[in-house]
Every structure is written in structure tokens, then in C-alpha cells.
Amino acid sequence: MEEMKDKICLITGANSGIGKVTARELAKRGAHVIMLCRNEEKAEKAKEDILKVCGHDRVDIVLADMASTRQIREAAVYINQHYPRIDILNNNAGLIMGNKRKTTEDGFEMTFGVNHLAPFLLTHLLMDQLKASPQGSILNVSSEAHRYAKLDFQNVQYEKGYGGLKAYCLSKLCNILFTRELSKRLRGSHIVTNALHPGAVASNFGRDASSLFGVVIQLSKPFMISEKEGAETSIYLATSKEANKANGLYFKNKKPIQPSKAALSDHNAKRLWEISEELLQIHFDPQVKVSVQKV
């Protein structure tokens, strides 16, 4: 299978679960895969597994902890210097935390920081690389959990009333709002962006969540779909010509479905964009050239 041989695909959180299967399957179809991971040892082990089955050696690791804007910036500088373009950016890395509120290196609530602000910043910094592709595609891994989110723009980082599950649901709503607003701002370009729900997947997800949710996830594993099945919608969106015509949509089981009312609100999407720009101290205009610098 060589259908992806001219594509360069960057996948965050590619060392385990859905991200690893996505990386492996795209590599097997001939893609040059960049695995953006935070843990070198885990990333090397995953890369070894992928190399055994993909039939070429174009599988690279770039290290960055998505809980650090400094590391995201450094990774983006490296990627901009070492690759001619990015054809597919799969914002897949994500976590759910326990019920003790934690913050990132930059002081952002951890779930909001890693699951929303990190892909927002990374996408901004890689925009010129995506524009260099004849047909760029940005895939954001969201979740049906977004339907349970309570969006309060005064409290997006849960300074008040924090709970691990609440923060997770909100971050997954943010993934869809980001996708919709980005698709609008990219109109007229050759880049498309879509969000997706992978299914309830028996991955490592939630293993560190000491909350009740973490326990529920562990107990539910026998009833969940495999990581391979969980990666199917990501792979479909990355490979199918038909999917490349979709823009700003939310997919489940390889089909676009209607997300929640809050996710469809243009006001929410615009406001979230502005808040994210303010917090990250960036101006993210996808139509404008980005100067990627270390801080």
C-alpha cells in the first residue's frame, strides 16, 4: 500500500493508543510519519514497533510535552527547519486528570492547557508548513464527552468548581469549537480541518485519572472497542479523498454527525478563539505568515 507515500503526517501522542495505531497505519500506507511525543523511551519503543511493519524508515520522533508552550515552540522550530511541509496534522494527544486541579508549566489548568491550548498553539506554529502542502488537513481528536461540557467563559480553567471530568468534557468541546472557527478562518485556502470522536476505546486513556471516572474507564474496558477500531475514523479522515472535501465537521464512525448546540455556536467558537489568543499571547490569523521563534 503506497497510497500515502507523498504525505508527511504529524501525529501528537503517537506513542500509544489511538495515536500509535494511526501513526502505524499511515506509515504502512507509505506516509512519512512524525511522532510528536513527550516521553523519549515510550516514543522509541513505539517507533520500533512501527518500523517492524511499515516497510520503510521514514518514521521520526519529535519530543515535546504539550504541557509546555516552550517545548511546543521548540518542536515547531525544529519541524519548520527539517520538513518541507506538513500534509496532515493530527492533534490527538490528550489526557483526563484526577480531581486535584493541576497546572501546566505556563500556569494553565492542565486539561485545558494540554487538550485545547496546546493544539491551538501547535496548529498556529505549523500553519506555514500546512500551507506548503498541496492539500493540508488538520484532524482534531475530540469526544462525545463534549456533550456534557458546561461552558462558562469566566471560568474556562476551572479556578472555581474544578473536577477532572468537567475539565475534560470542556476541553473536548473546545476541540470542536476550535475546529469550526479554524475552518471558517481557513476558507478559501486548500487546508481543511475536522474533528472526530474515536469511540470508547480500550487504550491507556484515563489510567492516571484517580477520579471515579478513571475507575469507571478501567472497569468498562472489556466493553470498549480496540485501539485499532478507535483509530479508524482518524485514518479515514487522513486518507480518504471524499473526507478531504469535508471542512469544519465532526465525525463519528467515519460519518459526519451533529455535535452539541454549544459546539455549533459561532459566538462560542469566536470567543474561545479570542480567549485562547489572549492566554497564549499570540495573534492566530491562519491567512498570515507565522514567524516561529524560540522563547
Q: Which stretches of the chain bind ligand NAP, using CB under 6 A?
A: 13, 15-19, 38-39, 42, 65-67, 92-95, 114, 141, 143, 197-198, 200-201, 203-205
Task: Give the CA radius of gyration of the chain.
Answer: 17
Residues annotated catalytic, as ranges: 168
Which C-beta is closer to ligand NAP: that of 131 or that of 213? 213
Residue number with CB closer to ligand NAP (46 or 131): 46
Cα 2 to Cα 6, 49, 96, 239, 242: the distances in Å are 9, 19, 36, 11, 18
Beta carbons of 136 and 192 less than 8 angstroms apart: yes
Q: Which is nearer to ligand NAP, 38 or 47 (CB)?
A: 38
For helices 266-280 and 118-125, angle between their N-to-C axes, nearest 10 degrees: 80
In sequence order, the β-bridge partners of residue 111 are: none
Instruction: Fill in the DSSP letter of residue 123.
Output: H
Instruction: Kindly tell me which of 92 and 239 has the beta carbon lying closer to ligand NAP.
Output: 92
The β-bridge partners of 32 are 8
